[in-house]
Structure 1
Amino acid sequence: MAEGLCGKHHRNPASGIGGISMSDTLKHWQPSHSVSAKLQGRDGSEAIQWDVAEEAPVALVYNGHNHAVMLASPQDLTDFAYGFSFSEGIIDCAKDIKAIEIREKQQGIDLLITLTEAKLERFQVKAARRTLVGNSSCGLCGISSMESLFQDPAPVSEKPAELIYRDVIAAVASFQQQQPLKKLNKSVHGAAWLSAGGDVYMVREDVGRHNALDKLIGALVQHGFDPDGGSCLVSSRASYEMVSKAVRAKMPALIALSAPTAFAIRTAKAANLTLCNWSKDGLVVL
């Protein structure tokens, strides 16, 4: 995105790669499963089928070196590989990755990522500092030092983003209709990229809120989108790691459907990221 994505392009992702999702083909791991259950109520009980979200162990392996194991929804994993790598600072743009192979196992999924020689050297420095094992709600597992949390981030823009209330209303309504996995099981998060006019261009979903954002970032990274004037909409709260990912991707604004944390607000202000909370009372701009 912008300079961080190695070039600026203005293609509409909805026409180029699919506005909702571009899932990788997996034979065994599926993002949702139907299970048998018993529904109990005042008038008795009945047998039902219930759709539940999958939570798959996904290992990110760089040039043969295990770096992280995350619990994620087994879809859009190529996007996840690019987005995670970008958010972690392992790559700066799509061309820093030479190849990605998705390998299914009975106990999980391996993402075999081949970096360029230049980025492999950077990765080896990072790998020497930490090994990361994260659950679906963990965005900072294995961070190398407490001090790294408080480094001043580079500003994402010179002036605050301008958001129009009616555009955000329309975007939220459209966003909620473009989350097929959430419609099915009611238990996953979504992240969407919005145009300057509030149109929903792209949506990614995952059982983990930060994974959903990484998938969105990864899709954007692959197509070199310019974030200027756009914004990101997420279904979750705006926690520190969500803000830090948005800042790394140079997103001008982050709109969350749940409230932010105080740490997230401080981080957003330091980076000049416009942070918003969508509530029943309106749009809270921080």
Structure 2
Amino acid sequence: MADGMRTGRSRPETAVRVATRVVAYAAPEPREGERALAVEMPVNLVYGSVPYAVMMATPADLEDFAYGFSLTEGIVASADEIRGAAVERGEGGLRLLVDLAPGRLREHLARKRAISGRTGCGVCGIEDLAALPRAETRDASTAVSVRPEAIARALSDLGDAQALGRETRAVHAAAWAGLDGSLVAVREDVGRHNALDKLIGALIRAGTDPAEGFLVITSRCSFEMVEKAAHFGASVLVAISAPTSLAIDRARLHRMTLCAIARADSFTVFCGDERLGAWVA
């Protein structure tokens, strides 16, 4: 098949539609709606039956991905060192099976290494789908209550708090806000994961109680961002951009409140609206 899906099954969806509740600050009640979300899926790259890395990706053009990844990682020097690529479903994701020419496969296995330092679209240092990170499932605090006006305040103040962002227009920010929406701490970084890691590091060094506020991130919300928030113990996560399908799944798993597409006039509740006050629920 031209798209490299050689499993004999229908190709995975690249977008899903989910029911939502859109909260407008000036409206008397939420508006029911539906939104398309990009699918995020773990893809296990396997060479000669040996797992190499798990990357988070949209499940489209995976044969192209196999070739490009293999070249840029230095596994091959040219396309003719790959005899083919096929996709099969694995436990919790997809397996991308890359068939290397015999000589290249021997060289690859001889110098096989784990990936490190790549957080933009993959999962650092793991090789198998079963090892996909998941924070310990715990009951997020049901005592946390965040009013819509608190989210509006945090969003309004966040722009002025992003010093590096104002200067460069090229970084992400992560913020911790009190339950009233006042900003307590903000961290910035060129990587969205790094910004959140920096913030969480500052919070745990200060002994911050996760029940005393909520997280705000300026980036899209992928599953890794939810997992990081869950590791900290946050009950409420607000993202300026949209979440992925797996992010919502993980937020539900951790019983977190996930709000996204947060703007000056509204935000969208994807799960956990019980923490947003009786007005929303």
1:137-286 to structure 2, matched below 5 A, reads 137-138=120-121, 140-149=123-132, 153-159=136-142, 161-277=144-260, 278-279=262-263, 282-286=266-270
Taking the aligned partners of 2:146 and 2:163, their CA distance within structure 1 comes to 26
Structure 1 residues not aligned, in runs of 5+:
1-129
Cα deviation per residue 1:87-124 (whole Å; 9 max; x = unaligned)?
xxxxxxxxxxxxxxxxxxxxxxxxxxxxxxxxxxxxxx
Displacement after TM superposition at 1:163 (Å): 2.3
Q: Give the residue type in structure 2 aligned to 1:204.
A: R
Taking the aligned partners of 1:156 and 1:176, their CA distance within structure 2 comes to 32
Displacement after TM superposition at 1:153 (Å): 3.8
Note if contact 1:193-1:201 (Cα within 8 Å) is conserved in structure 2: yes
Select the structure of larger CA radius of gyration.
2
Question: With structure 1 as the length reference, what TM-score do the two structures score?
Answer: 0.51
Could you say what the CA RMSD is over the residues aligned between the two structures, in angstroms?
Answer: 2.1
1:84-163 to structure 2, matched below 5 A, reads 131-135=114-118, 137-138=120-121, 140-149=123-132, 153-159=136-142, 161-163=144-146
Note if contact 2:156-2:264 (Cα within 8 Å) is conserved in structure 1: no
Note if contact 2:150-2:179 (Cα within 8 Å) is conserved in structure 1: no
Q: Give the residue type in structure 2 aligned to 1:143.
A: I
Q: Give the residue type in structure 2 aligned to 1:141.
A: C
Q: Give the residue type in structure 2 aligned to 1:181.
A: L
Displacement after TM superposition at 1:224 (Å): 1.2
Cα distance, 1:199–1:254 mapped onto 2, change above 3 Å: same
Taking the aligned partners of 2:253 and 2:175, their CA distance within structure 1 comes to 23
Q: What SS does the aligned partner of 2:211 have?
A: coil
Displacement after TM superposition at 1:280 (Å): 5.9
Note if contact 2:155-2:263 (Cα within 8 Å) is conserved in structure 1: no
Partner of 1:59: none
Note if contact 1:175-1:200 (Cα within 8 Å) is conserved in structure 2: yes
Cα deviation per residue 1:124-178 (whole Å; 9 max; x = unaligned)?
xxxxxx8442346246222243113375841241538432111111110111110
Question: With structure 2 as the length reference, what TM-score do the two structures score?
Answer: 0.52
Cα distance, 1:156–1:206 mapped onto 2, change above 3 Å: farther
Q: Which runs of 4+ in 1 moved over 4 A?
A: none
Taking the aligned partners of 2:118 and 2:133, their CA distance within structure 1 comes to 23
Q: What SS does the aligned partner of 2:212 have?
A: coil
Taking the aligned partners of 2:195 and 2:216, their CA distance within structure 1 comes to 11
Taking the aligned partners of 2:220 and 2:210, their CA distance within structure 1 comes to 21
Partner of 1:110: none
Cα distance, 1:207–1:150 mapped onto 2, change above 3 Å: closer
Taking the aligned partners of 1:202 and 1:152, their CA distance within structure 2 comes to 23
Taking the aligned partners of 1:212 and 1:137, their CA distance within structure 2 comes to 12
Percent of pairs with identical residues: 39
Q: What SS does the aligned partner of 1:197 have?
A: coil
Q: Give the residue type in structure 2 aligned to 1:282.
A: S
Note if contact 2:154-2:182 (Cα within 8 Å) is conserved in structure 1: yes
Displacement after TM superposition at 1:222 (Å): 1.1
Q: Give the residue type in structure 2 aligned to 1:196.
A: L
Higher relative contact order (CA 8 A, sep 6+): 1
